[in-house]
């Protein structure tokens, strides 16, 4: 199944669902920052997520409890690959260099990354 890109609002709802694992719309809203979005807004976003294949539900009468079909790690891989191909020409070196230049990675983190790379090379 092909993963589709999420909007910021959809991703925010998915982050909550990934944390809770199963939730009713009200429980999702409770986890969102203030000002809380309207119930209908979150309900609409959930239905869109169902259409995109990210979420399914189990029915309890008229209520639905939602759960993720796509895991956080699976979406993280998709989003990272998209970022890498769209902005860095599929070059991890270019991406790493960008973060270093923007001072998003300090020397200690860079050292940890290098140790991780060395560990992977020696496997």
Tell me the C-alpha distance between 81 and 90, whole Å: 8
Per-residue model confidence (pLDDT) at position 9: 94
pTM > 0.85: yes or no: no
Positions of CATH 1.10.10.10 in the chain: 1-89
Tell me the C-alpha distance between 55 and 101, whole Å: 38
C-alpha distances out from residue 74 to 12, 43, 52, 81, Å: 16, 24, 15, 11
Write out the chain's pLDDT in tens, 123 residues.
678 889 999 999 999 999 999 999 999 999 999 999 999 999 999 999 999 999 999 999 999 999 999 999 999 888 888 888 888 888 888 888 888 787 777 778 878 888 888 787 777
Q: Kindly report the CATH number that applies to the domain delimited by 1-89.
A: 1.10.10.10
Per-residue model confidence (pLDDT) at position 1: 62
């Amino acid at each position: 199944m092909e993963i589709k890109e999420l909007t910021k609002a959809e991703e925010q709802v998915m982050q909550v669902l990934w944390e809770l694992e199963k939730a009713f719309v009200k429980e999702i809203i409770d986890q969102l920052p203030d000002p809380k979005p309207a119930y209908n807004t979150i309900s609409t976003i959930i239905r869109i997520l169902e259409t995109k294949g990210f979420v399914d539900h189990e029915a309890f009468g008229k209520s639905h409890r939602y759960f993720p079909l796509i895991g956080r790690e699976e979406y993280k891989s998709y989003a990272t690959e998209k970022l890498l191909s769209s902005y860095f020409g599929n070059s991890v070196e270019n991406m790493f260099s960008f973060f270093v230049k923007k001072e998003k990675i300090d020397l200690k983190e860079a050292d940890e990354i290098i140790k991780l790379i060395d560990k992977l090379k020696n496997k």
